[in-house]
Structure 1
Amino acid sequence: RRRVSDTPSAASDGEVYDHQAAWRDLLDGLDQKPELPEIVAAGHRVVHGGKEFSDPQRLTPELLARLEAFIPLAPLHQPHNLAGIRALTAVRPELPQVGCFDTAFHVGQPEVARLFALPKVYRQEGVQRYGFHGLSYEYIAGALTQKLGTPATGRVVVAHLGNGASMCAMRDGQSVATTMGFTAVEGLPMGTRSGSLDPGVVLYLLERHGMGVRDLNNLLYKQSGLLGLSGVSNDMRELLASPEPDAKLAIDYFTYRIARELGSLAAALGGLDALVFTGGIGENAAAVREQVCARSTWLGVSLDPTANAEGRTQISQPASRVTVWVLPTNEELIIARHTRQLVLEH
């Protein structure tokens, strides 16, 4: 395994090297395996597609230039998404590439779910709620249908919990509301991202502490969330193992916010039929699932402690009014399907 840097260097084992060297190394290795099928296209996750892109797109230099405009809205992800695409273009210019957007799953939300209470002029320039983790939610919508044996036409909330975390309310497998908004810093507290906070806090930090845009960006995206609350780590595994009181506080706040958002999303749906946990924390942290479900009994959630501890697929009691599931996500499969379809059609 090698780390990838934005600056070129040697690609020997253990060395830092750039995106182009990484692609060459990977593709050369695959080319040496004749038992594998020929690579005919590459699919990429692109976090932000704005209002313009609701479907997967063939990636061109012109399209990449337009996607640059969304870097301020997803500074932790978008620059690296685009760097990988450009590097592959340099290494294999003849290879078709497809961009799949994490925002696309949410474009059909009702207008009222996408608004901010700001003057219309800002909405016209694209200041609205977009939502993210759409590739994960798209996969879970299909996986839940398979588990139930019938289309998932009920009122479902999916909690994608990892270093980045969000939740999505779905009806008939379609996004109705979600916790992330204009950027991927809104909503739940995350590994290093603050999640939602009073905008007045930002004004206070600007005025009282003299913070600039870069300072605020670092604070909200890289120094807050579980790391900021605990002072220990952004890794849930380390927090669960830590004896520090602030580690417990961070976990308690995380599960409190999930349960609070669950109530809000259930209100958007007019009720709740199923709750799904996915993502690194959602799939593996039984203690987090237990706390969230304990805070949500009023909604009709009844957890089976044994099933939860054993990591079974369905972890609710048989009589639970709301069924509770643990489903691994597979964003890569969704990207592969979209890429195959788009390349074959064109």
Structure 2
Amino acid sequence: MILVLNAGSSSLKIELFDHGLTSVVSGAVTNIGTQGELKLGDARQEVTAVDHAAALAAMLGALDKAGHPISALDAAAHRVVHGGTILTQPARLTTSVIKTIESVVPLAPLHNPNNLAGIYALQHAAPDLPQYCSFGTAFHAANPEVAIRYAIPKTQHDAGIRRYGFHGLSYANMVAEFGADLPHRLLAFHLGNGASLCAILDGKSYATSMGYSPLSGLTMGTRSGDIDGAAVLRMSKAFGEDETDRLLNNASGLKALAGDNNMKTLLARDDPDAKFAVEHFCYWAARHAGSALVAMGGLDAVAFTGGIGENATPVRDRIMELLACFGDVPVHIVTADEEKQIARDALTLIAKGQ
């Protein structure tokens, strides 16, 4: 059994897989730090977990009662958002790897500390259990230098200001799910509250819409997507750095255009703001797609994943209508499953004796 953990700021999600990558059970502890809920399969119970360690202890206890004691686990695997320029492949968690994850916290200050909290908690609870990690940025490490470098002074580039890309685990899972049927030049969309696209050439990322942070690229649920740096500077002077960060990450995108970041709700509305927000989302997805097609030299197929990508047929249809100038190509829908990819990565490393 492989236990996959995804530690967020106030939640701890888990999923248990067997060695055939079949999901056995999934669950979560919510509202860490206050009264929350522990969910495991169909079971629910109220819990109060003061921190990630307490949340993990409660989850391990629930797994034990459900017939999955920690002694039955072969390994655990964690989602880590950012691996920087060093951690570009899945890895077994060692002291060195953990120190590197800690060193890139400034690149993902809202995510890596939470991911590390889950790692620390499990190390304390089960020090002899092998632990592995997979990185959301790693899939894009194959991007050529011209795709990742901003035209800024080398000192800033060397300090880490460059394009990294995100949603890499989702794209890696998509490639694995295609298997031998993977198209040569695949335009992949991960569309959800966070949205991005990726030019996948022979199974490798050649360009992606997100950059230094998940803010850039497509219009998203609450993120602005691409915005001129001078506009950000003006906003920062007017509102301060923290408020500008909040505005661009939490109060922009669909929410700013139509007062709601739920695509299902927007599609059901008939007012001009909702229609414009949906069109904005589709237009910029297709417009960014044009640059991705240049990066991989053409197009053989399109694939959609993520909550919107999988479920919002009108959005998929509109994006494909805007891309019709590139020819008629197959369109695929792939279920998003980052947890499965993390388990797959861990099993691959175990098979190699790592």
Give the alignment's TM-score, normalised by structure 1. Answer: 0.85
Unpaired runs of at least 5, structure 1? 301-319
Measure the CA separation in 2 of the matches of 1:293 and 1:87.
45
Taking the aligned partners of 2:119 and 2:30, their CA distance within structure 1 comes to 14
1:15 Cα shift? Answer: 4.3
3-state SS of paired residue (1:14): strand
The residue that corresponds to 2:291 in the other structure is: 264
Q: Return the offset for 1:289.
A: 0.4
Greater displacement, 25-34 / 174-183: 25-34
Is the alpha carbon distance of 1:24 and 1:128 closer, same or farther for their aligned partners in structure 2, counting shifts above 3 Å?
same
Residue number among 77, 84, 90 corresponding to 1:56 in the alignment: 90
Gaps of 5+ in 2: 1-26, 39-44
- Asked whether the equivalents of residues 183 and 301 of structure 2 are also in contact (C-alpha less than 8 Å), the reply is no
Q: Which residue of 1 aligns with 2:162?
A: 128
Alignment equivalent of 1:251, drawn from 264, 278, 285: 278
Tell me if structure 2 keeps the 8 A contact 1:59–1:99.
yes
Shift of 1:33: 3.8
Give me the whole-angstrom Cα distance separating, in 2, the residues matched to 1:153 and 1:255. Answer: 23
Which residue number corresponds to residue 5 of structure 2?
none
Q: Indicate the SS of the match to 1:107.
A: helix
1:27 paired residue number: 60
Distance in 1 between residues matched to 2:231 and 2:68, nearest whole Å: 57
| Correspondence list, 1:325-340, <5 A | 325-340=332-347
C-alpha offsets along residues 326-345 of structure 1, whole Å, 9 cap, x if unaligned? Answer: 11122212111211233451
Q: What is the match of residue 77 of structure 1?
A: 111
> C-alpha separation between the residues in 2 aligned to 1:82 and 1:52?
17
Distance 1:2 1:112, change over 3 A: closer
What's 2:214 paired with? 184
Q: Report the number of matched residues.
A: 319
- Report the residue type matching 2:253 in the other structure: G
Q: Give 1:64 deviation, angstroms.
A: 3.4
Q: 1:283 to 1:153 in 2, by over 3 A?
A: closer
State whether residues 96 and 343 of structure 1, in contact with CA within 8 Å, keep that contact through their aligned partners in structure 2: no
Question: Within the alignment, does 1:205 sit opposite 2:235 as a pair?
Answer: yes
Whole-angstrom CA distance in 2 between matches of 1:216 and 1:86:
32
Give 1:153 deviation, angstroms: 5.1
The more displaced of 125-134 and 64-73 is: 64-73
Matching of residue 214 in structure 1 with residue 242 in structure 2: yes
**Cα offset, 1:122, TM superposition:** 1.2
Counterpart residue number, 2:150: 116
How many percent of aligned residue pairs carry the same amino acid? Answer: 44
The 3 A distance-change label for structure 1 pair 42 and 164 is same
| Deviation digits for residues 41-78 of structure 1 (CA, Å, limit 9, x no counterpart) | 11111111010101112224554343234344334433
Using the alignment, how far apart are the partners of 2:213 and 2:251 within structure 1? Answer: 17
Distance 1:250 1:9 in 2: 36
Preserved contact between residue 161 and residue 281 of structure 1 (Cα < 8 Å): yes
Is 2:39 the partner of 1:7? no
**Deviation of residue 94 (structure 1)?**
2.6
1:162 and 2:192 matched: yes
Alpha-carbon distance in structure 2 between the residues aligned to 1:64 and 1:35: 27
Counting strand residues as a fraction of each chain, which structure ranks higher?
2
Which residue of 297, 302, 323 corresponds with 2:330?
Answer: 323
Separation of aligned partners in 1, 2:230 and 2:68: 59
* Residues 222-274 of structure 1: CA deviation (Å, up to 9, x unaligned): 1111112211x221112112234222211110000011011111111121111
- Aligned counterpart, 2:19: none
RMSD, aligned α-carbons:
2.3
Matched residue of 1:260: which SS? Answer: helix
Matched, 1:293 2:320: yes
CA contact (8 A) 1:5 1:19 kept: no
The aligned counterpart of 2:305 is: 278
Which SS does the other structure have where 2:309 is aligned?
A: helix
**Equivalent of 1:195, from 207, 211, 225?**
225
Change (3 A) 1:246 1:11: closer
Amino acid at match of 2:116: L
1:11 and 1:326 map into 2 onto residues whose CA distance is 32
User: Which stretch of the first structure deviates more once superposed, 78-87 or 162-171?
Assistant: 78-87
